[in-house]
């Protein structure tokens, strides 16, 4: 079986992205979810209650 080509890395995979934090405004940044998926910091703030 031939080697499969390596898929190109996304920008999120090239740089280390910090995890979204409770009681910390993440808006304006890209953060990761608990599963390591990149997401908007604004959405993370809504999800963890920091939007108020």
Q: Which residue has the higher pLDDT, 8 or 42?
A: 42
pLDDT in tens, 23-43: 888 888 899 888 888 999 999
Q: What percent of the chain has pLDDT over 70?
A: 69
Model confidence, pTM: 0.58
Residues paired with residue 30 on neighbouring β-strands, in sequence order: 40
Q: What is the CA radius of gyration of the chain?
A: 15
How far, in Å, are 29, 40, 44, 51 from residue 15 at the CA level? 13, 15, 19, 26
């Amino acid at each position: 079986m031939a080697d499969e080509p390596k898929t190109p890395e996304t920008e999120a995979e090239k740089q280390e992205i910090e995890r979204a934090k409770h009681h910390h405004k993440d808006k304006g940044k890209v953060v990761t979810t608990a599963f390591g998926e990149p997401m908007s910091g604004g959405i993370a703030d809504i999800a963890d209650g920091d939007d108020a």
